[in-house]
Structure 1
Amino acid sequence: MRHCRVLDERDRDRVARIVDADPVVNCFLASRVDAGVLAPGGVGEVWGYPRRNPYALLHLGANCVPVNMDAEARAAFVDDLGRWRNFIAMVGPASDVLGLWHALCERWGESYEAVRVMRPRQLLMARSAASDAPADPRLRLAVADDFDSYFRAAAAMYHEELEEDPLITNPVGYRTYVRSLIEQRRAFTIVEGAEVVFKADLGAMSSRVAQVQGVWVKPELRGRGLSVGGMAGVTDAIVASGRTASLYVNDFNAPAVATYRRCGYAEVGALASVLF
């Protein structure tokens, strides 16, 4: 008998209570619940442990995301996963992700280091008020006419940050994803001439939090403060929508951390990412 249970719409209130305990940390799962992951035919699944009155959750889709996991829940999730794995990344609180990955490696007989990319400590930062820095007045939402330049910038960011070229590994899917960000008004940009020189996306968004992802500045313009004005504008737009602005950044990326701190972001936790 399985230790965990696939949750559905009847569990929505319980899932909401677990997620709402830390809406910044749990922004991704909240966004997936809002997108219908608990409904029949939803994309992905949410597992709960124990089967009755679950307190720990595991989102399984393209991303594997643990929520509120302790040692007992981790053992149950690992046992129920068995040899199954079709997710391409594991992301979440650092202790949860690294503990789960260690346990899975022991179960699967794999090397802990045998992954494409591992980010063991990423600073989770948040801001619930307008930016401390002035916004760049040129910042705006990207529109359809920006797509080609925005897509090139997004692919460059992805290649640089995740050590993978999406134009080779997933050209159609990534193109569709970037277009959807623009259509959903979740893509911010600064354009000079017809060229995108700054970009940032709202990669996950719940009713309470918006998580900024994909921040990129044209390489030749880095070090000139462009990212501060751009991020200040993105932050102000999120806060004006009634949400807390959040993001996570590699702890070794000192220039990016400095930018976010200049905009008033404070560290509120630590995440980890394992990419396969």
Structure 2
Amino acid sequence: MLKTTAHVRALTPDDLPDLHRLLDRDPLVNLFVRNRVDSTKLQARWLGGQVWGYFEDGSLVSACHAGANLVPVEATPAALSAFAERVLADNIRPSSVVGPRDVVIPFWALLEPRWGPARSPRLSQPFMTMARDSRVAPDPRVRPVLIDEFDVLYPASVAMFTEEVGVDPEAGSRSGYRARVAQLISQGWSFAIIEDGRVLFKTEVGAATRDACQLQGVYVHPDLRGRGLAVPALAAVVRQVRQTVAPVVTLYVNDHNTAARRTYERVGFEQTTTFASILL
């Protein structure tokens, strides 16, 4: 019996056709990595990390985004072992490991003995999608945020991130987080209800491809929670992003956040798979 020859290496622009075919096996689940690949063309100066490929007998079988986030793509058990070896050998320490639950959990099992306990393991996150407008009447106040409203939006963004992730986004690089918020506004990917200089609701598109986009950072002002604001507001966001960004809208949410899950279900989102996130 012939032995399979396998290896891992950083992918280059020459590998884009093969990588696109791999990502297209599940364009919704692989949306984040496809967005990074499309926006950087695997140019190292823009990527801020690498995308590794796992090859068997010269064919690309699996991939892994290795930057601030570790995100495996169509990863086989053999690929996960090879990626884990590469991560540990290169002394990479990302902020999270994210992806389908059935891949992230065994991947983390290979890394945890060296890295120690995770700061926040989120092992069951429904991945939800929507390919139509909501049947809920949209809130007409929702609109794209203007760049001159940055100073109004920014505190709400910091509050949301701190509440959701459990760390202050300004702790590492205040300028980096400010730049990211400004970038999303400039792209037309930030949506909010702003009244009298106060953000009542906001969310943004964190990543998008020609097939789909992913919402993140859903926030309702604490004084207004539990009053039914989020459902019509998100219905408005879904309608607007389907018209201007991509036809399918996705998101993922912590399983224990029953209030958020019910909100998304009322809007019309349906769970299609389960993600997991290991926050380090």
In the superposition, the TM-score normalised over structure 1's length comes to 0.94
Structure 2 residue identity aligned to 1:86: R
What residue is the counterpart of 1:102 in the other structure?
109
Q: Which runs of 5+ in 2 are unaligned?
A: none
What residue is the counterpart of 1:156 in the other structure?
159
- The correspondence of residues 239-258 of structure 1 with structure 2, limited to 5 A, is 239-241=242-244, 242-258=246-262
What residue is the counterpart of 2:34 in the other structure?
30
Deviation at 1:251, TM superposition (A): 0.7
Q: Which runs of 5+ in 1 are unaligned?
A: none
- The correspondence of residues 116-265 of structure 1 with structure 2, limited to 5 A, is 116-241=119-244, 242-265=246-269
Quote the Cα distance in structure 2 between the aligned partners of 1:171 and 1:48: 33
37-46 or 206-215: bigger deviation: 37-46
Cα deviations across residues 199-254 of structure 1 (Å, max 9, x unaligned)?
00101111111100000000110111111111101111122234200000001111
Assess if the C-alpha contact under 8 Å between 1:2 and 1:80 holds in 2: no
Deviation at 1:48, TM superposition (A): 0.8
SS of 1:35's equivalent in the other structure is helix
Quote the Cα distance in structure 2 between the aligned partners of 1:27 and 1:244: 11
Match of 2:71 among 40, 62, 65: 65
SS of 1:55's equivalent in the other structure is strand
Assess if the C-alpha contact under 8 Å between 1:8 and 1:38 holds in 2: yes
Assess if the C-alpha contact under 8 Å between 1:37 and 1:45 holds in 2: no
What residue is the counterpart of 1:46 in the other structure?
51
Cα deviations across residues 125-164 of structure 1 (Å, max 9, x unaligned)?
0001111211100000001232112100000001110111
137-146 or 234-243: bigger deviation: 234-243
Deviation at 1:37, TM superposition (A): 4.7
Aligned length: 272
In the superposition, the TM-score normalised over structure 2's length comes to 0.93
Assess if the C-alpha contact under 8 Å between 2:23 and 2:30 holds in 1: yes
SS of 2:217's equivalent in the other structure is strand
Deviation at 1:63, TM superposition (A): 0.8
Distance change >3 Å, CA 74–CA 32, structure 1 → 2: same
